[in-house]
Amino acid sequence: MGPTNASTTLPSYMIIRIHSPVPRSSVTPSPHTLIGFGSMAKLAVLPLLLAVAASATTLAHGSELPTQIKLIRGADAGGVSGDSMECVYTVFIRTGSIWKAGTDSNITLELAAADGNGVGISDLPSWGGLMGQGHSYFERGNLDIFSGRGPCMAKTPCWMRVASDGTGPHHGWYCNYVEVTVTGPHKGCAQQLFTVEQWLATDAPPYKLEAVVDHCSAAGAGAAAA
């Protein structure tokens, strides 16, 4: 007996109907319009295999960076290696212990060398938060630690910008300091302390949601004197 109502006797994922300009009611299902479950399973797996292969190729070539970290280009485009994620950045951020020093806002960080090349991290906890599940970052008195991979900088970071997006029930944040270490294969360990001691808030001096610390000029002057 030929099929009389294939769509009700077989699951929908086992049926492929041939599109036709003839109205749907006048088309009689044919056995040739059905593909067996084994063939459908192979077709379903094919896009997944292609996606895995593409992902592996991306990781092998390092052509895409995590969304939380981006490149900052200066005058020398070779100052940051954009085709690898071989360096490890560790960031220590101390929040002040004064009243209302903590914040619920998102904190971003940018680092650069004297040539202007560097990296920017848009979401520190997601990128490399090490304080454990359930920890509340940037609260009063906290020493929060972050670590993650990133593109290598040719020179030690000497410029830092830390900023708040001003969101959350309490946007104001008092930052004591940001300390950064960078290391990588066949590289030494570079370390830089950026003392902030400033409110990042719209209702407290200096009424800014960012703080910039620049040691690059001092480093350049010291090198010139030597």
| pLDDT per position as a tens digit, 99-113 | 999 999 999 999 999
Q: State the average pLDDT over residues 206-225.
A: 80
Pick the residue with more confidence: 173 or 53? 173
Tell me if residue 182 falls in helix, strand or coil: strand
Q: Which of 177, 180, 126, 127 is nearest to 153 (CA)?
A: 180
pLDDT band at 79 (very low <50, low <70, confident <90, very high): low
Alpha-carbon gap, residue 155 to 216, rounded angstroms: 11
- H or E, element range at 46: helix 37-61
Per CATH, domain 69-225 is 2.60.60.20? yes
In tens, the pLDDT along 129-188 reads 999 999 999 999 999 999 999 989 888 999 999 999 999 888 999 999 999 999 998 888
Q: Are 182 and 157 in contact (CB under 8 A)?
A: yes
Q: What residue ranges of the chain are covered by domains with CATH 2.60.60.20?
A: 69-225
3-state helix, strand, coil in the chain (%, to 5): 25, 30, 45
Residue carrying structure tokens 């480093």: 219
Please determine, for residue 1, whether its predicted confidence score (pLDDT) is greater than 70: no
Average pLDDT, the chain: 75
Please determine, for residue 16, whether its predicted confidence score (pLDDT) is greater than 70: no
Q: What are phi and psi of 181, to 5 degrees?
A: -125, 145
How many degrees, rounded to 5, is the angle at CA 163 between CA 159 and CA 164? Answer: 170
